[in-house]
A = this chain, B = another copy of it.
Amino acid sequence: MSLDHLLLGALREPASGYDLKATFEQVYRHFWPAELSQIYRTLRRLEAEGLLTSRRAASDIGPERRVYRTTAKGRARLRRWLQEGPQVSDDRHAFCAQVFFLDELEEPEARLTFLRALRDEFAVRRSQLEAIEAQWRADDPRYPDGLPPAELMQQFTLALGIEKFGAIARWAETCIARLEARQQQETADAAPL
């Protein structure tokens, strides 16, 4: 039900499904990706439940839009979700399962290749979030601790993304170093002076 609450939160400011998709791509992506088809479907359901209202609106540039907004009931639902405390679900990391069975690749070099690709992938993701942070810092002299409450909370989530991706990239780097050290050790053992 998290998508529901994300939409209720986002639609405290009016927006169309198409607008929301852009927000998901730019802002929520690193903690909650969503496809347009799912957004539209969920918006209709939330409206039927009375948690959102919609009105048609002309677009400057394309076809008519349907603009949604959270109702008082929807806002109460959002608040209840927050009051219930943190909803910590288990996450699924396919790459971690892969590492678990990586011994199945018998060549040490293949294992290193895998781990380097992993490190690079997360380093890129971290950099992308750091770029967003740098832009924000450049645009607003209050960044980060002078920001108003709503934006401060949003800054917290950005900081988490950077920490999380950074932690995984550093972990991969450590694994690589440990494997390399082991390989050197084995070479030394195989050809003693």
Residues on A close to B: CB < 8 A? 2, 5-6, 9, 12, 28-33, 75, 78-79, 81-83, 85-105, 110-111, 113-114, 117-118, 121-122, 145, 149-150, 152-154, 156-157, 159-160, 163-164, 166-168, 170-171, 174-175, 178, 181-182
Contacts and interface: CB of A to CB of B under 8 A. Distances in A.
A86 B95 contact: yes
B164 A31 contact: no
Closest CB pairs A-B (n = 8): A31-B96, A9-B101, A167-B167, A103-B150, A2-B94, A87-B94, A86-B118, A86-B95
Contacts of A114: 82, 85-86
Interface of A is mostly: helix
Given A110-B83, A114-B82, A99 B175 contact: no
B97 A2 contact: yes
A5 to B, nearest CB: 7
Contact of A31 (B5, B92, B154): B92
A87 B82 contact: no
A153 B100 CA distance: 5
A96 B171 contact: no
Given A32-B94, A33-B90, A100-B156, 18 more contacts: A2-B92, A9-B100, A9-B101, A12-B104, A32-B92, A32-B93, A78-B101, A82-B114, A87-B95, A88-B95, A88-B118, A91-B92, A102-B153, A102-B156, A103-B150, A159-B174, A160-B171, A164-B171
